[in-house]
Structure 1
């Protein structure tokens, strides 16, 4: 079993100020997994805290094969007991990624964390300058995991691809 938890925080261009940043601070932290987890090769717990909903966290649980990770812009490759996790190109306007990026390979029992943030257009039309932003924390476990493992434990692999969405120098990436 592969368990993936993506915690996203979403806000509008109007929510860029310091008071709004304080309201969403810490909301991208992992949460306890629902119990019991459904059976499946891959279980996804997708959590969203949206400014439009007052930053109330709402989650859904999905199950399926390794292809279900594509809904999170991830690609999973299973090789024996190891799982390689890649980030697929997405529809983010910034940062633009045109190729897939290998994040980490997990042996059985290991957990990886991928952190990133993005700026998206509300529409695909370049004539509409409206933006929204997302901050992601994605945890992936190769094997069954305790319900509190993501919020309480440290990952075995940590990739931080967060950038300055409003301009300025980028952040350092840990690999």
Structure 2
């Protein structure tokens, strides 16, 4: 079983200032997994804190095969009991990712964390200059995961692809 939890925080371009940043600070953290735990080859727990809903958490739980990961822009590849997780190219306007990116390989029982942020267009039309921003924290467990699995301890693999969305440089932690 593969358990994926994606926690996203979404805000508008008009909410880029410090006051608004304080309102969303700390929302991009893992949350408890649903109980009882769903069953399936792949379980996706998708959590969204959207400025449009005053940052109240909305959760969806999806179960199924490996195609479930594609709904999050991830690709899973299996070799024996290990799973390799890749980020597929997405709709982000910045940073632009035109190719798949290998994030990590997890042995049975291991957990990986992927952190990223994006500037996205409301539409796919270049004629619409409206933007929104998302900050992601994605945890992937290769194996069953207790409800608090992503809340305790450090993951075995961490990939940090966060960038400074408004210009300038940002401090990134090294991937491990």
TM-score in terms of structure 2 length: 0.97
Displacement of 1:79 in angstroms is: 1.0
Q: How many angstroms apart in 2 are the aligned matches of 1:71 and 1:112?
A: 18
- Is residue 2:150 matched to residue 1:140? no
Query: 2:72 maps to what in 1?
Result: 72
Select between 53-62 and 144-153 the one with higher mean Cα deviation.
144-153
Query: 2:175 maps to what in 1?
Result: 174
Displacement of 1:170 in angstroms is: 4.0
Which SS does the other structure have where 1:72 is aligned?
Answer: coil
- Is residue 2:23 matched to residue 1:20? no
Which SS does the other structure have where 1:154 is aligned?
Answer: coil
Q: How many angstroms apart in 1 are the aligned matches of 2:156 and 2:133?
A: 28
Query: 2:5 maps to what in 1?
Result: 5
Which SS does the other structure have where 1:150 is aligned?
Answer: coil
Displacement of 1:52 in angstroms is: 0.1
Q: How many angstroms apart in 1 are the aligned matches of 2:10 and 2:151?
A: 20
Gaps of 5+ in 2: none
Q: How many residues align?
A: 175
- Aligned-residue Cα RMSD (Å) equals 0.8
Q: How many angstroms apart in 2 are the aligned matches of 1:128 and 1:50?
A: 21
Higher helix share: 1
Q: How many angstroms apart in 2 are the aligned matches of 1:146 and 1:154?
A: 15
- 5 Å matches for 1:111-126? 111-126=111-126
Gaps of 5+ in 1: none
Which SS does the other structure have where 1:115 is aligned?
Answer: strand
Displacement of 1:171 in angstroms is: 3.6
Which SS does the other structure have where 1:22 is aligned?
Answer: helix
CA displacement 1:28-62 (0-9 Å, x = unmatched): 00001011121100000000000000000110100
Query: 1:101 maps to what in 2?
Result: 101
Which SS does the other structure have where 2:33 is aligned?
Answer: coil
- 5 Å matches for 1:32-71? 32-71=32-71
